[in-house]
Amino acid sequence: MSTPPPLTNPLDWLFQVQKGAPEQSTHFIIYLLWTIWLARNEKVFDNVTPWPPRSCSNATRDQKQWTECPKVPLQQRLHSDQRNHTQNNPDPPPSNPSYEIHCDGSFSNESQEAAYGYVILNNHGQVCDGAAGPVTCSSPIEAEAMAIQEAIFAAKRLNATVHVKSDCLSLVNAMARTPEFWPWACAARLSVVTAILDSEPRIKVEFFSRKNNFRADWIARSFNQGSLPEDWITVLNLLDPFFSNVS
């Protein structure tokens, strides 16, 4: 029997735990990890000795508060940064809100199954929306092209300044060249993408490293493996400071 590959990504480890634990237990683990991270910061920056019972108590309190609080609709989440700025500052919010969309594709050589995933980050760098879905293709670069295309569709719906970021350098470079230089397997999708970019000057496609693309990479792979939880946006925002430092 083959040995499964080691889990090097903390999110992968967390959702391996989720598969065999009740939902409430998984949520508690998430909040406990967060309070442990806060206790670590207190030790590093303020030399406060951690006290494990307090971390457990704080995790229980935070989980209870989140469970009982009313959930905010998507459109309010997307623009809450503007409203909060208006309430707390005398200056008006920026007239042109900006977002980042990080996208990635996942392709399994064994099953030949593929998926795309993207996350939308608001002005404060918080994940406020995103999506994942299946891709019919025969290569990893086609999955990457589908991820870029879906991210561009999402950017157009936002009607704002949007920086779409992909870790597929070959596709990002290809979009700056004429069609004869495009990878043939991706030509149809790139044609759609470049047509939108030509008509939407506020949308830009940029390259950034796979290390920084851990959010989109995780949701695309998790969807492809059938393990993406319904509350993945909450999970990413709760643990983002921790994962950003260890990724």
Residue 208 has pLDDT above 80, yes or no: yes
- Residue 9 is given by DSSP the state S
Residue 161 lies in a domain: yes
149 located within any domain:
yes
The count of domains in the chain is 2
Residue 191's domain is classified under what CATH number? 3.30.420.10
Is the pLDDT at 113 greater than 50, yes or no? yes
Give the pLDDT score at 97: 78
Give the tokens for residue 58.
């704080």
Is the pLDDT assigned to residue 28 strictly greater than 80? no
Q: Are residues 132 and 186 in the same domain?
A: yes
Question: Looking at the domain assignment, is residue 206 inside a domain?
Answer: yes
Residue 125's φ and ψ, nearest 5 degrees, are 80, 15
Q: Is 241 inside a domain boundary?
A: no
Residue 140 counted as domain residue: yes
Residue ranges making up the domain that contains 187: 98-228
Q: Is residue 164 part of a domain?
A: yes
Do 25 and 121 lie in one domain? The reply is: no
State the Cα angle at 56 between 54 and 57, rounded to 5°: 65
Q: Give pTM, 2 decimals.
A: 0.66
Is residue 174, in this structure, part of any structural domain at all? yes
Domain presence at residue 91: no
Q: Are residues 140 and 60 in the same domain?
A: no
Tens-digit pLDDT profile for residues 189-207: 899 999 999 999 999 999 9
Place of tokens 């910061």: 41
The answer to whether residues 31 and 112 belong to one domain is no
pLDDT tens track for 68-103: 655 544 444 444 444 444 344 444 445 567 899 999
Q: Are residue 57 and residue 107 in the same domain, yes or no?
A: no
Q: Does residue 211 share a domain with residue 155?
A: yes
